[in-house]
Amino acid sequence: EPEVTQTPSHQVTQMGQEVILRCVPISNHLYFYWYRQILGQKVEFLVSFYNNEISEKSEIFDDQFSVERPDGSNFTLKIRSTKLEDSAMYFCASSTTGYGYTFGSGTRLTVV
Amino acid sequence: KNEVEQSPQNLTAQEGEFITINCSYSVGISALHWLQQHPGGGIVSLFMLSSGKKKHGRLIATINIQEKHSSLHITASHPRDSAVYICAVLPTSGTYKYIFGTGTRLKELA
């Protein structure tokens, strides 16, 4: 069964550093998403991406965050200057229609 | 007020029990997802529902659109079912972003 692949599975970074979280969505999917889950809290929407542009973003997704689909297969989330409160599990998801998602297994980001 | 509420928050079950997890939501929806999150953190989609009932193995999911309520049942529960079960809804407001519940933590005792 096709999978959404996320790398790395765990990343530790110093506060203030830039991080790039990578995702390979399912090849024929058109809609791409990033969600995050702070430890002990519920999953929150960050951003959706369709037709090579952001279609929707949450209040969390401020100027520190950006997304790219650099080569037609990868979908990346960049955090420019990490803060302690960015520590969370980040999930990528993709979909053909925008309704049913396939989630990746997540990247656990720890900012120290 | 949370738009998606789940109950119970925590559940302990003996092997072989019939488990029910409930999800109530306050918005109009076009789809509802039941998801499973294992201790490592990864999320697996179990069901996507827009009406009626779906069954897969020992898992059954039902939805009542009029009542704004869905249930996930596990028949003959097993220790490997230990996980957090999450309900997520897709509002009809023209958005493609899901709203997640806080999850139900199921602990199975052998």
pLDDT at res. B110: 77
Q: Specify the DSSP class assigned to residue A59.
A: T
Are the CB atoms for B71 and B62 separated by under 8 Å? Answer: yes
Q: What is the mean pLDDT of chain B?
A: 93
The strand pair at A102-103 and A88-95 is best described as antiparallel
Q: Mention every residue, 6+ apart, whose C-beta is less than 8 A from residue A1.
A: none
**What's the average model confidence in pLDDT over B69-90?**
95
| B41, B99, B103 member nearest A106 (Cβ) | B41
* Chain B closest-CA separation from residue A24 CA (Å): 15
Closest chain B residue by Cα to residue A96: B96
Q: How confident is the model at residue B1 (pLDDT cuts 50, 70, 90)?
A: low
Query: If pLDDT is split at 50, 70 and 90, which confidence band does B58 have?
Result: very high
pLDDT recorded at residue B93: 80
CB contact under 8 A, B41 and A56: no
Dihedral angle computed from the Cα positions of residues A81, A86, A89 and A93, in that order, rounded to the nearest 10 degrees:
-60
pLDDT 10s digits, B32-56: 999 999 888 888 889 999 999 999 9
Spatial distance between the Cα atoms of B84 and B41, rounded to a whole number of angstroms: 9
Beta bridge partners of B83: B106
Of A55, A99, A108, the CB nearest to B31: A99
Give the one of B41, B96, B102 whose C-beta lies nearest to A42's C-beta: B102
Is B95 or B60 the better-scoring residue by pLDDT?
A: B60
Q: How far apart are CA B91 and CA B70, in angstroms?
A: 15
Question: pLDDT 10s per residue in chain A (112 long)?
Answer: 789 999 999 999 999 999 999 999 999 899 999 999 999 899 999 999 998 899 999 999 999 999 999 887 899 999 999 999 999 999 999 999 877 889 999 999 999 9
B98·A98 Cβ contact <8 A: no
Say yes or no: A81 contacts chain B, CB-CB below 8 A: no
The answer to whether the CB of A67 falls within 8 A of the CB of A34 is: yes
